[in-house]
Amino acid sequence: MQKEQKVVVVVVTKLNSMQKMKVRCLSVLKFVVSLSLSLSIALGVVLNISSSQAAVLGADRVDVLYHSYEGGGMKIDGPSILLRKKATESVSITAYYYLDSISSASVDVLSTASAYTEERNEGQLGIEYLHEKTIMSFNVRQSDEDDYFAQSLSFNVSHDTFGDLTNISMGFSYGDNDIKRNGDEIFEEESQQYRIRAGINQILTRNLTASLSIEAIADDGYLNNPYRTVRYLDNSTPSGVGYQSEIYPQTRNSFATKLSASYYLPYRAALFFHYRYFSDSWEIKSSDVELGYRHPIGDAFELELKLRYYQQSQADFYSDLFAYKDAQNYLARDKELSDFDNMTIGFGITYSLPDSLSFGSSRSEASLQWDYIDFSYNNFRNPLDEGGVGNESLYGFSANVIRAFYSVYF
Amino acid sequence: MSKTIVRAVFLLSVISLTGCASLSIEPWVKPYERQNLADPIMSASRHPIANKHVAHVLDGREAARGAEGAEGGGCGCN
């Protein structure tokens, strides 16, 4: 009898563990299936946002650009070059170079440190392969500063389907970053970033296309800015305020969804719209909405207008002024993690050069774009202002962003 | 919220994988009706080098990231 009971208990235990294993397997399977299905709708926006026709490789072109950003005590400018060339009918190569020359005297630099200058060089190489209605691309990227070295690679695939009315896409990226601190030879940290994305682009009418794209990003490692500090009330100092280094979590996971639409107006002009919603594990939530308008004037000119509004909530470990030192496990006073909004007004003009001014049989364009961005911070005060600690005026600034570029199609 | 997203993704997956055949939907905009959509002024990537710069400027100043499209993809800076 006892033996029978033991057998029953053993059988029940085995059944229980099998059931648990089954449940575990099912949940893993469920996750893998939903991930695979998520990816299967992918393929599209990433590589070929404007795919209104069957899959084709982009035109051969070279773009040379000068860019400038000036605002909030920062001046950043430099050149950039983008080259795209078909090696064969089905293979295309891209190369990209970008330089930032930075001169910084921003509000948080001036309040705790000295103005500085630095350079950032970035290079990218990519290859695209077209097979029937599918485009696959592989891209490597490197960015180099005195105190930050980043490398990443990404893979994307897009596919036209449903009578070429639908384009689906997916992609993933991996990035590795080495972080240093100038003036501190011992300091050495690193972080990794993983990205996975998917999109669908759909022709809705003969004048309207819409797309939906999603992207999940996971960061792991040292995510602080090694120079930035937080401030806290400190009665032991004459100023009444003390400073300590920021401390961020070692991980950050985020998810973004973007809905876009393009509409062809009857008099040959185009309207663009997008809305993006973002949230992350630091409790930041943001939305941005943009409306664009492109209007040709004659055969030679094309005007562009843009309005964009962005707003975000602050990270749960952000504070403009902590009550005391080591007030919580994680500490941040980076204004990019604070509650703020900004508004952009943009204007652009493109001029198609006459044949007499173009190189050989190629077609050339000259473009100028100007964006004016106004930032308003709702919980970041300017420590350089009067009013006493914690009662200074809220910070805000505006920036002018200029891009002048020359494009040659050959 | 996440369940709703998974369900929406699942539905879109089924539709895209079956090419809408199971729903008996035919492509409703024929290739010869797409000349407006093929016009360069409708191209969101008309100026790819400018798009890259816009994405870089915003990436360094806003917490939001991702789903920018081809020209995005992170700052690679601090």
Q: What is the pLDDT of residues A238-287, one digit of tens each?
A: 989 999 999 999 999 999 999 999 999 999 999 999 999 999 999 999 99
> DSSP class of residue A266?
T
Q: Residue A19: what pLDDT?
A: 52
Q: Residue A11: what pLDDT?
A: 41
**Positive or negative torsion for Cα A290, A199, B54, A109:** positive
Whether A108 has its CB under 8 Å from any CB of chain B: the answer is no
Q: Picking from A7-21, A162-176, A201-215, A347-361, which range would have the lowest pLDDT averaged per residue?
A: A7-21
Contacts of A288 in chain B (CB under 8 A): 62, 64
Closest Cα in chain B to A37:
B13
Q: Residue A353: what pLDDT?
A: 93
Residue A19 lies in a domain: no
Residue A13 lies in a domain: no
Mutate to test the interface with A, among B2, B14, B30, B36 (most CBs of A within 10 A): B36
**Whether the predicted pLDDT of A339 surpasses 90:** yes
B-contacting residues of A 261-320, CB under 8 Å?
262, 264, 268-270, 272, 276, 278, 280, 282, 284, 286, 288, 294, 296, 302, 310, 312, 315
Q: Residue B4: what pLDDT?
A: 60
Q: How many domains does chain A have?
A: 1
Q: Residue A356: what pLDDT?
A: 81
Cβ contact (<8 Å) for B69 and A213? Answer: yes
Cα–Cα distance measured from residue B39 to residue A294, given in angstroms and rounded to the nearest whole number = 12
**A191 with A217: CB under 8 angstroms?**
no
Cβ contact (<8 Å) for A34 and B43? Answer: no
Q: A176 - beta bridge partners?
A: A151, A192
Looking at the whole model, is its pTM more than 0.90? no
Of A96, A145, A294, the CB nearest to B77: A145
Note the pLDDT tens digit of each residue in A155-211: 999 999 999 999 999 999 999 999 999 989 999 999 999 999 999 999 999 999 999
Q: Residue A318: what pLDDT?
A: 97
**A280 with A313: CB under 8 angstroms?**
no
Q: What is the per-residue DSSP string for A83-130?
A: EEEESSSSEEEEEEEEEEEEEE--HHHHHHS--EEEEEEEEEEEEEEE
User: In angstroms, what separates the C-alpha of B42 from chain A's closest C-alpha?
Assistant: 6
Cβ contact (<8 Å) for B64 and A80? Answer: no
Contacts of B58 in chain A (CB under 8 A): 310
Whether A47 has its CB under 8 Å from any CB of chain B: the answer is yes
Residue A32 lies in a domain: no
Domain ranges of chain B: 45-78
Report which of B66, B69, B58, B49 is spatially closest to residue A124, judged by C-alpha positions. Answer: B49
Note the pLDDT tens digit of each residue in A42-98: 333 333 333 344 588 989 999 999 999 999 999 999 999 999 999 999 999 999 999
> DSSP class of residue A353?
P
Residue A293 lies in a domain: yes
Residue A354 lies in a domain: yes
The mean pLDDT of chain A is: 88
Residue A21 lies in a domain: no
Of B27, B62, B70, the CB nearest to A310: B62
The whole domain housing A195 covers 41-409
Whether A381 has its CB under 8 Å from any CB of chain B: the answer is no
Q: Residue B2: what pLDDT?
A: 55
Residue with tokens 């040292």: A222
Identify the CATH number of the domain in which residue A214 sits: 2.40.160.40
Residue A227 lies in a domain: yes
Report which of A247, A197, A190 is spatially closest to residue A220, judged by C-alpha positions. Answer: A190
Which pair of tokens denotes residue A361?
Answer: 């049989």
> DSSP class of residue A337?
G
**Whether the predicted pLDDT of A25 surpasses 90:** no
Residue with tokens 């664009």: A292
Question: Would you place residue A35 in the very low, low, confident or very high pLDDT band (cuts 50, 70, 90)?
Answer: very low
Please name the residues in contact with A68: beta carbons below 8 A apart, sequence gap of 6 or more: A75, A76, A77, A400, A401, A402, A403
Q: Residue A313: what pLDDT?
A: 98
Q: Residue B77: what pLDDT?
A: 53
**Positive or negative torsion for Cα B43, A373, A307, B55:** positive
Contacts of A226 in chain B (CB under 8 A): 78
Mutate to test the interface with A, among B14, B24, B41 (most CBs of A within 10 A): B41
Cα–Cα distance measured from residue A290 to residue A203, given in angstroms and rounded to the nearest whole number = 20
Predicted ipTM of the assembly = 0.85
Cα–Cα distance measured from residue A64 to residue A59, given in angstroms and rounded to the nearest whole number = 16
Q: Residue B22: what pLDDT?
A: 56
Cβ contact (<8 Å) for A52 and B38? Answer: yes
Cβ contact (<8 Å) for A163 and B16? Answer: no
Phi then psi for A173, rounded to 5 degrees?
Answer: -140, 155
Q: A342 - beta bridge partners?
A: A310, A375
Note the pLDDT tens digit of each residue in A300-312: 999 999 999 999 9
Question: Would you place residue A15 in the very low, low, confident or very high pLDDT band (cuts 50, 70, 90)?
Answer: very low
Compute chain A's Rg from CA coordinates: 26
Q: Residue A193: what pLDDT?
A: 97
Note the pLDDT tens digit of each residue in A99-150: 999 998 888 777 777 788 999 999 999 999 999 999 999 999 999 999 999 9
pLDDT means over runs of 10, chain B (78 residues)? 60 59 77 94 94 94 88 48
User: In angstroms, what separates the C-alpha of B61 from chain A's closest C-alpha?
Assistant: 6
Cβ contact (<8 Å) for A162 and B28? Answer: no
SS (H, E, C) chain B: CHHHHHHHHHHHHHHHHCCCHHHCCCCCCCHHHCHHHHCHHHCCCCCHHHHHHHHHHHHCCCCCCCCCCCCCCCCCCC
Closest Cα in chain A to B8:
A38
Report the Cα A399 to chain-centroid distance in Å.
19
> DSSP class of residue A304?
E
Please name the residues in contact with B44: beta carbons below 8 A apart, sequence gap of 6 or more: A49, A50, A260, A262, A272, B69
Residue A20 lies in a domain: no
Half-sphere exposure of A397 (CA within 13 A, CB side): 16
Note the pLDDT tens digit of each residue in A275-297: 999 999 999 999 999 999 999 99
Cβ contact (<8 Å) for A206 and B41? Answer: no
Q: Residue A357: what pLDDT?
A: 79
Q: Residue B68: what pLDDT?
A: 84
**B60 with B77: CB under 8 angstroms?**
yes
